[in-house]
Homo-oligomer: A and B are copies of this chain.
Amino acid sequence: MSSLDKNIQIKNTLTGDKEVFKPISKNRVGMYVCGPTVYGEPHLGHARSAITFDVVFRYFTYLGYRVRYVRNITDVGHLEDELSGEGEDKIAKKARLEQLEPMEVAQRYTNLYRDMMSKLNVLPPSIEPTASGHILEQIEVIESIISNGLAYECKGSVYLDVTAYVEKYHYGELSGRVLEELMTGSRSLEGQSDKKHPADFALWKKAEPSHIMQWSSPWGKGFPGWHIECTAMSSKYLGVPFDIHGGGMDLKFPHHEAEIAQSYAAFDCAPVNYWMHNNMMTLDGQKMAKSKGNFISLSQMFDGDHPLLKKAHSPMTVRFLMLQAHYGSPIDFSNRALESAETACNKLLKGLTFINDLQPDDSNQFDKEISNQIIEKCNSCFKRMNDDFNTAETIAVLFDLLSLAHKISQASTIISSEALIGLKKTYKEFLSDVLGISSESSDSSDTLPDIIDVLLDVRKEARDKKDFELSDYIRDRLNVLGVKINDSKEKSTYSFQ
């Protein structure tokens, strides 16, 4: 572990300040990130959050921390009207449309999400709990809040009592909203009349008999409110408080604000020490939204199957474009930005081989200045990542290292073995292990038939010229590799043995 690892600074979105990270247990990190609601195709928003915290997970792990990373799957309880907590359960609605059991819908989109994350080289979290799998835990948290006098039951539903809550705790700290705003922001919808105060939010909802996702509870049949799952699962697997809570900044209100309130109300304790929020994305400067027709799913991105896309973009290009910005900044996706990211990403990847092939020179006459420059740049990788996980600047430093490598190669400059070893190790580890940028193996299987075709064409030319030595040589070499050539009068074909 580098000595620099003690200097990680995190922009805590609760305080707005960049703070030195102090883990609760030495050399351990507990991190919770809000995962997807699995009622639809994974999209760029899912990717940005997952990639942001994947890099945080990777960097802490790289430094030698033992990280327990919990990212949930919301498979129940996420209502369509997120602000008021009313409306129809998103997953149940989709299920009725598709005539499937809601858990079949959830499973299908969960599988798709996992596949897409794997393509993006996002590591699986340590624990991936589901909301429907923690109903009992959610009921227990709600019972604690009721017994603390900060929630009430009404007609089979349970609401957090914001009026009682604000007498003891501050509400709105994360989003900076005041209670009056919260009241104004809450719309009058069916069922709202059960609440004592419009800003109260549901912890448990009574289910109508027709509702397909429902469980028994002390308040009758129902289902949990959206916010309570994260309080139940984070406290179960990480305790309270834990170290880091992450998510997209669109979740600050109401979701994360509600999590804070639920934690204080149940445990008399803040849920977490550091809040981190990744910023959003635009497409050609426009906010992405299904209604605008500029909403791109990850499948569409990887297949190029969207009217706004000029071509398909590989998962690694998407990952690289996201890491080229600091997670706290917005990103604009455009065809031009994607193409630039592709070029830049390939350049860094090609640099891996180039730098790895640099040969040491035992001469004592090395160039001190350039050796020191390289060592300094290697240290910069740590410094940039320690500075609130600044992947954008880390990538810039990797480009600097690559330029230096080209420079010393062209000028046949000799550098110290310390600098050479540092260069090779830092470049490879930050690119592959920390940023998770790697060449995509799928490329090679796509290229293989084309490369074999080149060989078959060379061989045909040789046969036409009656150069049987060459044509037999190609046939035999391919045969050893399991590629069998079948010659016919018209043409030669091949098959894998």
Contact = CB atoms under 8 A, between A and B. Distances in A.
A216 B470 contact: no
Interface in A109-151: 111, 124-130, 132-137, 140
A33 to B, nearest CB: 15
A441 interface: yes
Contacts of A136: 135-136, 215-216
A444 interface: yes
Contacts of A454: 455, 474, 477-478, 481
Nearest to A233: B103
A447 B447 contact: no
A210 interface: no
Interface string A432-468: 0000000101011101101110110110010000000
A215 to B, nearest CB: 6
A268 B107 CA distance: 30
A239 to B, nearest CB: 11
Given A68-B101, A216-B140, A443-B496, A111 B124 contact: yes
B133 A104 contact: no
A65 interface: no
Contact of A350 (B129, B473, B478, B496): B496
Interface string A468-497: 001001100110011100000000010111
B496 A439 contact: yes
Interface residues of A, number: 55
Nearest to A497: B346
B237 A101 contact: yes
A15 interface: no
A95 to B, nearest CB: 12
A126 B140 contact: no
Contacts of A445: 441, 444-445, 448
A439 B449 CA distance: 14
A353 interface: yes
Given A133-B134, A134-B133, A135-B136, A451 B452 contact: yes
A303 to B, nearest CB: 18
A136 B140 CA distance: 12
A448 B455 contact: no
A451 B483 contact: yes
Contact of A107 (B127, B450, B495): B127
B448 A474 contact: no
A481 B451 contact: yes
Interface string A5-38: 0000000000000000000000000000000000
A444 B451 contact: no
B104 A497 contact: no
B497 A478 contact: no
Contacts of A353: 495
Contacts of A126: 101, 104, 107-108
Interface string A341-379: 000001000100100010000000000000000000000
Most-contacted residue by chain B among A126, A215, A473 (CB, 10 A) = A126
A61 to B, nearest CB: 14
Contacts of A497: 346, 350
Given A132-B133, A451-B452, A455-B455, 12 more contacts: A103-B127, A107-B124, A107-B127, A107-B128, A133-B134, A441-B445, A444-B496, A448-B448, A451-B455, A454-B455, A454-B481, A455-B458
Q: Which 5 A-B pairs have the closest CB atoms?
A: A133-B133, A444-B445, A444-B448, A454-B477, A103-B127
